[in-house]
Chain A
Amino acid sequence: MVSLNTVAPAAASPRPGLSETGVAIDARVEKIYYGDFLAVRDSHVAVEKGQITGFIGPSGCGKSTVLRSLNRMNDLIPSFRLMGSVTFLGQDIYAKSVDPVVVRRHIGMVFQQPNPFSMSIYENVAFGLRLNRFKGDYDEKVETALRKAGLWNEVKDKLRQNGLALSGGQQQRLCIARAIATNPTVLLMDEPCSALDPIATRIIEELMLELKQEYSVAIVTHNMQQAMRVADKTAFFSVDISKGGRTGFLVEQGDTRQIFHDPREKLTKDYISGEFS
């Protein structure tokens, strides 16, 4: 089992829990607060190994908040508080002894806006390797990551060029290459295609289907067709505005087919039929 309270592993070490099936991240969120504001309640979601889990739901339903709780990105917001537990391969990532920095090295993230660093394409991909003091063949690691991200052929002749000079879709694939260069166990994607055009979106979606051979993926999307196309499991969130607040909660989670064709909950059925009618 991987330890979360020591320094990160060398980037080359085999990733834990690779071949088994089962749950990579099990989040039992009771409540998430920003200050006094209750943002999310009662949401139990699981990210399964080797599968793509889609988080869908209307705006403000807390799907991004929950996703960002899975690698403690929300810790960067000072007023954030989580009640409940999030376990990664059986370990509570919110335990006192856990270093959030180490958590993020195992659970990578791709953001809504492509956000490459203002440095060369090569250095962008090598960034995480250098961070982990990887000793070995950087060229090979960079090439492998760029190939997996489907970007190698487009950038192999301009690896020294600044990453910000690429197009939006290429930048997003560069961010994916950067995230997978260090071999994380789980990849969290927060609306990775919402800033991209349909063609770039298609390319990223095909990429996700390849990535799930090696990584467990969780993706937030506001595009239901996208969830249907790529997700194996889907978690549907909704938002409760009854008591004057805006509190998101999980309505149901299940196989994508079941969620879209045979939803158990009326809320899900209404949302999906509204979206598709």
Chain B
Amino acid sequence: MTVIEADMNRKPDVPSLDHSFSDPRALRNTIQTVLLWIVALLASVPLFSVLYMLITRGGARLGWEAITALPPAGLEMGGGFGNAIVGTVVMVGIGALISVPLGVLGGLLLGAIAPSSRMSDAVRFVAKVLTGFPSILAGVFVYAWLVLGMGTYSAFAGGVALAVRMIPTVMLTAEQAVRMVPQRMKDAAFGMGCTQTQVALRVTLPTAMPGVLTGVMLAVAGAAGESAPLLFTALFSNYWIGSLTEPTASLSILIYNFSGMPFPNQIELAWAASLVLVLIVLVFNILSRLIGARRV
């Protein structure tokens, strides 16, 4: 007889520690766990069915020609959407060139330099409103301001419209990242004889960099998938981009145009373009998580 058995024999009222479904608490726990699993699976049905459709229908057409050739005319066979990939990359690039410096410096102001000033309160409020703003209004705004002003649809106008969408995302995530930098690290920098600007640029920003880059990647992924802001700023083009001041193709607008056409070839291309777009968004989302995970 072991010591424990001896102990139990002496005290018959020792509680049982085993699982028991007759206990109402344990029963409720099991039911709720099962329910949550079912709801989670239901919630992922749309996601996986979209992915499944994209892969089966878009994957069939995805190939070297599809991603390098120009779009086909009406009843023509073959062709691709190489110009739309280039156009999307160029316009998202322009959007990032504008939104990253503005957004990161803005986030630094909100998070580190003057977190509770009236200026910051106003900027933060506007940025939050802007994240929930219908994206087509970004397009209307740039149409009225740039397209009419320049007299032409252009990649530049498209990039600016995307930047309008990206700035709040970059700025608000940068603010959060900057706020996470411990005060004692900033104290150390001040103690070394840093000016406020030096603390912000040499210590706060580098420390917050993984979080800042996460925001940038998310903004890029979001902008790559935008269609409304491009609809009447960049318009569309069937040709390779020649300059930043001419109408430019993008994946999202190509999908919109081709999926409504009566030609099976174009509809297949729209599916393939959708798959490419999702892959681009996915890559940037994964990058953002990898960068975010590097946080100390």
A interface vs B, CB < 8 Å? 8, 71, 73, 76, 101-105, 108-109, 111, 113, 115-119, 127-128, 131, 162, 164, 175, 178-179, 182
Contact = CB atoms under 8 A, between A and B. Distances in A.
> Top 7 closest A-B pairs, CB basis?
A105-B193, A109-B191, A104-B193, A115-B184, A115-B188, A118-B207, A118-B296
Q: Which one of A104, A111, A115, A164 has the highest number of Cβ atoms from chain B below 10 Å of its Cβ?
A: A115
Contacts of B193: 8, 101-105, 128, 131
Contact of A118 (B185, B187, B190): B185
Contact of B192 (A113, A119, A179): A179
B56 interface: no
B198 A104 contact: no
Contacts of B195: 101
A117 B189 CA distance: 8
A101 B192 CA distance: 8
A221 to B, nearest CB: 18
A117 B296 CA distance: 11
Nearest to B198: A131
Interface string B166-187: 0000000000000000101101
B187 A117 contact: no
Contact of A115 (B185, B198, B202, B206): B185
Given A102-B193, A127-B192, A162-B296, A73 B206 contact: no
Nearest to A119: B206
B191 A104 contact: yes
Q: Which one of B185, B193, B296 has the highest number of Cβ atoms from chain A below 10 Å of its Cβ?
A: B193
Q: Which one of A71, A73, A117 has the highest number of Cβ atoms from chain B below 10 Å of its Cβ?
A: A117
B66 interface: no
A12 to B, nearest CB: 16
B194 interface: yes
B203 interface: yes
A131 B194 CA distance: 7
B184 A108 contact: no
Interface residues of B, number: 18
Contacts of A102: 193
Contact of B296 (A103, A113, A164, A179): A164
25 contacts: A8-B193, A71-B191, A73-B187, A101-B195, A102-B193, A103-B193, A104-B190, A104-B192, A111-B188, A113-B184, A115-B188, A117-B185, A117-B203, A117-B207, A118-B185, A118-B296, A119-B206, A127-B192, A127-B202, A128-B193, A131-B194, A131-B198, A131-B202, A178-B188, A178-B192
Contacts of A182: 192
Interface of B: 182, 184-185, 187-195, 198, 202-203, 206-207, 296
Contacts of B206: 117-119
Nearest to A106: B193
Q: Which one of B184, B187, B194, B296 has the highest number of Cβ atoms from chain A below 10 Å of its Cβ?
A: B187
B111 to A, nearest CB: 16
Contacts of B198: 131
A76 B190 contact: yes
A111 B194 contact: no
B93 to A, nearest CB: 29
A168 B195 CA distance: 27
Given A115-B187, A117-B185, A105 B192 contact: yes
Nearest to A162: B296
Contacts of A117: 185, 188-189, 203, 206-207
Q: Which one of A101, A102, A175 has the highest number of Cβ atoms from chain B below 10 Å of its Cβ?
A: A101
Contacts of A103: 193
A176 B203 CA distance: 18
A74 to B, nearest CB: 11
Contacts of A105: 192-193
A127 B195 CA distance: 13
